[in-house]
Amino acid sequence: MHALESKFAGIARPVFGAPWMRFVAYLGLCAAYLQGGLDKLTDFNSAIGEMNHFGLSPAPVLAVLVIILELVASAMILTGFFRWLGALALAAFTLLATFLALRFWELPPGMERFMAANSFFEHLGLVGGFLLVAWLDLGRDISMTMEA
């Protein structure tokens, strides 16, 4: 590690290496799913409408399943209870939803396509974040098992 990088890392480590900062990062990653799950729960008719909009059937059943997935998987990540599994569930869900809802390649050139493409790749970033959470959590479990 270069001296300058080492110096900056030493300054950043007390804050960004703190347990509370990890929780803030998990909360940021899960925020859209907590908000989405709670919104769907409190406005179930709109949740059904969203399923219908994307041609998903049976809409009420799928809306319930999405609400459960968004809230339970987020809680798993935030509490650490099978964190890796919650992260993989949200990664898979996000990947599927992204290819379902953000098919920018089907849109004509213009602002709508531009915005859909940006959102598509932002969602791929969320998938990557959840995969990283799972990888780190499973790696921690593996190293703890190997040390025992």
Give the tens place of pLDDT for each residue, 48-62: 999 999 999 999 999
**pLDDT of 27:** 98
| Strand, coil or helix: 72 | helix
Task: Give the tens place of pLDDT for each residue, 63-110.
Answer: 999 999 999 999 999 999 999 999 999 999 999 999 999 999 999 999
**Hey, where are the domains in the chain?**
3-147
Whether the CB-CB separation of 127 and 85 falls below 8 Å is answered with no
Give the integer Cα–Cα distance in Å for 41 and 87.
21
Prediction pTM value? 0.88
Using alpha carbons only, give the angle 90, 101, 119 rounded to the nearest 5 degrees: 80
Neighbours of 86 (CB within 10 A): 27
Give the integer Cα–Cα distance in Å for 64 and 37.
9
